Structure 1
Amino acid sequence: MLTILLLASALLVAFKTFQFLHQTYHDRKTAKALGCQPPPAIPTGPLGIPGFLRMLTAVKEKRWVEYISQFYETFGHTFTQVSIGGVEMYGTAEPENIKALLATQFQDFGLGSRHREFFPLLGNGIFTLDGAGWTHARGLLRPQFTRDQVADLDLMDGHVARMIDLIPQDGSSFDIQRLFFLLTIDSATHFLFGESVGSMGSSDASILEKTAVGDAQGFADAFNTAQEYLAARSRALGFYWLINPKEFREANRRVHEVVDHYVRRALESKRHPEKQSGRYIFAEALAADNDDPRVLRDNMLNILLAGRDTTASLLSSSFFYLARHPAVWTKLRRAVVGEFGDATHPIGDITHARLKDLRDLRHFLNEVLRLQPPVPLNFRVAQKDTSLPVGGGPDGKSPVYVRKGQLVTYSVYAMHRRTDFYGPDAHEFRPERWEENSKRGWEYLPFNGGPRICLGQQYALTEASFTLVKLLQRFDRLENAGPASDRPVIQCTLTMSHDAGVPVRLFSSV
């Protein structure tokens, strides 16, 4: 028996060795044929374990986005490293490579294991699927973001007014990021599902009273907790399945329970079309296409994630910088009041076109998105043996070979801070740089690019612009109530937020 076991072990080792040598030969031959050379390598230690432990430390210290960004400053704009378990992966902050990943070589790359990592919360949806499933989900979503839909500001107006009512009128300190996340969950559920979740105390607040969550804050907390675990599962790569604690499962259950309310509402609307509002509503379009409650929940939850978090991130970062740059607040308020008037003496209606034409506001948002992109890190996985255009060899100009199944991460956060693109002050907040050069290519990518470019880009920019205008009309002075540092402490799950919130004081002479 022992002899058989030893023989079997020896055969297995021999097979694995042959497999490794054959793969190595194949990779070298293919790389040579493609003219590829290797990029710089980051030392991460045996099986990538020391490097992974350093990453975990950076995660605990809320600095892992910056930690990864430092690699690009040290090793160049494209590099290779060994991650946990000996998995070789690439990192890039090179526009040409990101363009290849997202556009020109779109068919060469997919989401890899993201479906398995994110499935417990998001299931099968636009953020987890490749191929036909993704194409179908995106097709259902596209009509939701037509220009007419996005330009309808009446829907937003009521939610923004309710948020302003929650701001302390005595100039006391409060966390405006918390209000922005409440605002965007209310407006996103209203915009996408036809009914607000009512987290700011609207008449629809009873939605959550019918569930075990009990209140809107409970839903928001569960949503945040679930996303934190998804981010941890993504960082763990092939060991994602080890991260599945009771807290994660319970958070998923609570989120699903609330979204299931909207599923039932959409199916009921399908049975009674005479009760529909006439406005295109994503949830109703989904129900018309499919009456499987699980399919509806997955797709609704995927788009809710995008509709809520990215806009709240942009607004929170906007006030983080405004509170620390009073001259920018003064300039922006002067432009807003000059165009739209103040809260007591408005000038005309705030329209989508007028918002887009307000140059100072556009430049300000560009700069916020440059320094604090809502999705700072992302990845793709090669679906075939292929290459990246640049990054290899001593001069970094040769192609880089990427074998099938290999992970390529990209950092928009690092790319947006490159001094060769944005000047020696690339790490500084300076909206005026967009007056000097407002035309950008793939080196500016706050909303992704290629076929997967964010469909809600104009919606997010319109909602953020409208909210900022309303706040600038209503309040004439803003003070920072948090640390004076211009470097935020980032909490990055699937999107970016500020770990300690954004404490401010707002004052009005009205």
Structure 2
Amino acid sequence: MALPTLPDTARGSIALYTGAVLLLFYFVTSLHRRWSQYRFAKEHGCKPIPAFPIYDPFFALDRLFFMVKAAKARKVLETNALRYTQLGDTFRAQRITTPVIMTREPQNVKTILSLKFHDYSLGDRLKVFGPLLGQGIFTSDGEDWSRSRHMIRPNFVKDQVAHLDIFEELMDDLFALIPTDGSTVDLQDLFFGYTIDSATEFLFGHNVRSLKKRRSGVVDNEPDFPKAFNYSLDNIVMNSRLGALMFLHRDSKAVEANRICHDMVGQFVDKAMRVREKYDEEKAAGETEEGRRYLFLNGLAQQTGDRTRIRDELMNVLLAGRDTTASLLSNMFFMLAKHPEVWAKLQEEVAFLEGRGPTYEELRNLKYVKFCLNESLRLHPVVPLNSRTAIKDTVLPVGGGADGRSPVFVPKGTIVGYSPWAMHRRKDYFGPDAEEFRPDRWADLRPGWEYLPFNGGPRICVGQQYALTEAAYVTTRLAQRYSVLEGRDPGPWEESLTLTLSSYNGTKVSLRH
């Protein structure tokens, strides 16, 4: 027997009624949420903050156009710092339909990264970075991030960081590529080659020999890993800038570049798994691993048998191990070449070594080398912009009201951006010459959260000592070898802002004995 059917008019009435109920529910829910947020903000004494001026109130497309224009002019950071000068140390903006709060207040940064760490997440970073980096320490949140950090942290203990042989073994290749006849060389290009060689040696026990290939001029048939890695990173930057519109950007070359990177790392993961199996057999037989060379890869493999997890963590650390140190060295040597008096001081400090490589303890005691590294990281922080996304209604301690000293309400879903670049240029913290490169200022500086070269809080960079050790070692060895360092770029430093910050025009210098 057939079931009775409703007439078309009845079905239409039910659909209309259902739609009206859903609309009413949404309206009431929205009102309730706004009322709850109002009460929450009032209870915490929150006050308004200045707004970035926009003319498109729906999608803020004029702001997106403004930022794309600044990027093409290589003035994203300069423009960002100017906005703080015009609007205040904390202000609000909009990214498509997402509310944004920008700040350069150390108290706010400390709150985001440490005091209220669990109020924030990385937002859509996994979606943007995932095709290359997978789910690793720089792309994960919550328990996944905790497991990543637990896996990686033991690999950066002092015994591993203090192993300087890797750095020294690559110095001959670096020296050989630096002409001493007064001709121009781009040190930035060489530094990126040096750090990818040292990083892959440290991680895999087999470097990609980018410097040796340049020395020999021999072209092999292997996929160009450094080139593929660079292309993948550029694709990440593009998607990051597009945000919610990244689905419009499809790049088949990026897919192929990601595959090349994964295949290269994957072959070492397979090798590590065979070492793990052998290690388990030796351990069962009562044998020890004394005298065996430590490898980061094998350290990970002893903690997990998940090949994908190992590969993703390696990709994450490789990114930091190459880009952070190379960017630091490139930016610093650009400035050193314009300040011969600083170069002379560096040479005086390392003269006692009489040409030999320093030990780890000697390296740690080179104060002026440390001053130069600190000053470069202050003036040109390798990660000059960063952000978190609020996962609950929360509060920043300062920035609200006419005097900027009242709390600021942060609704759930808001992106909170913070700018080490702009914060490091605050004259109230670093003096009236905060825009200048002056390493001597560090003789008296003892900064807190206003200086943030490697992030802070629970997510502080676990590899910062490795990066600083490598940068200090390379700086020391170059200062020992070359008495003259001259800049060959008459113009000022210009930004090249990708995942890290380097010089757009490279680091073109002349070095002589």
Asked if these proteins are the same fold (TM beyond 0.5), I'd say yes
The question of 1:369 aligning with 2:382 is answered no
The question of 1:450 aligning with 2:457 is answered yes
After superposition, the CA RMSD in angstroms is 2.3
Contact 1:364 1:431 in 2 (8 A): yes
Residue segments in structure 1 that go unaligned for 5+ positions in a row: none
Matched residue of 2:37: which SS?
A: helix
Amino acid at match of 1:229: N
Residue segments in structure 2 that go unaligned for 5+ positions in a row: 1-7, 283-287
Aligned-pair distance for 1:185? 0.6
Q: What pairs up with 1:215-234 in 2 under 5 angstroms?
A: 218-234=224-240
Distance 1:278 1:393 in 2: 61
- Distance change >3 Å, CA 132–CA 74, structure 1 → 2: same
Distance 1:26 1:442 in 2: 32
The question of 1:412 aligning with 2:420 is answered yes
Distance 2:241 2:397 in 1: 26
Aligned-pair distance for 1:192? 2.0
Listed one character per residue, the Cα deviations across residues 312-355 of structure 1 (whole Å, up to 9, x for unaligned) are: 01110111001111111112112222x322x3xx4xx5112212
Listed one character per residue, the Cα deviations across residues 133-178 of structure 1 (whole Å, up to 9, x for unaligned) are: 1111111111211112111111210012221111123221111101
Aligned-pair distance for 1:446? 0.3
Aligned-pair distance for 1:193? 2.0
The question of 1:114 aligning with 2:125 is answered yes
Listed one character per residue, the Cα deviations across residues 81-100 of structure 1 (whole Å, up to 9, x for unaligned) are: 1222x221101111000001
Contact 2:98 2:413 in 1 (8 A): no
Contact 1:182 1:199 in 2 (8 A): yes
Q: Which residue of structure 1 aligns with residue 503 of structure 2?
A: 498
Q: Which residue of structure 1 aligns with residue 272 of structure 2?
A: 266
Of 178, 182, 195, which residue of structure 2 is paired with 1:167? 178
Aligned-pair distance for 1:12? 6.0
Distance 2:395 2:244 in 1: 23
Contact 1:44 1:83 in 2 (8 A): no
Compute the TM-score of the two structures, normalised by the length of structure 1: 0.91
The question of 1:87 aligning with 2:98 is answered yes
Aligned-pair distance for 1:15? 4.9
Of 466, 469, 485, which residue of structure 1 is paired with 2:476? 469
Distance 1:99 1:462 in 2: 26
- Distance change >3 Å, CA 8–CA 232, structure 1 → 2: farther
Aligned residues: 490
- Distance change >3 Å, CA 16–CA 101, structure 1 → 2: same
Matched residue of 1:42: which SS?
A: coil
Q: What pairs up with 1:62-461 in 2 under 5 angstroms?
A: 62-84=74-96, 86-201=97-212, 211=222, 213=223, 218-273=224-279, 278-337=292-351, 339-341=352-354, 343=355, 346=356, 350-435=358-443, 437-461=444-468
Aligned-pair distance for 1:202? 7.4
Of 35, 43, 61, which residue of structure 2 is paired with 1:25? 35
Amino acid at match of 2:105: E
Contact 1:36 1:392 in 2 (8 A): yes
Amino acid at match of 1:43: P
Distance 2:471 2:506 in 1: 18
Distance 1:11 1:44 in 2: 35
Q: Which residue of structure 1 aligns with residue 285 of structure 2?
A: none
Amino acid at match of 1:305: L
Distance 1:307 1:363 in 2: 21
Aligned-pair distance for 1:241? 3.0
Compute the TM-score of the two structures, normalised by the length of structure 2: 0.90
Identity between Structure 1 and Structure 2 (%)? 44
Aligned-pair distance for 1:447? 0.8
Q: Rg: which structure is higher?
A: 2
The question of 1:489 aligning with 2:494 is answered yes
- Distance change >3 Å, CA 355–CA 50, structure 1 → 2: same
Amino acid at match of 1:224: N
Aligned-pair distance for 1:9? 6.7
Contact 1:144 1:192 in 2 (8 A): no
Contact 2:186 2:506 in 1 (8 A): yes
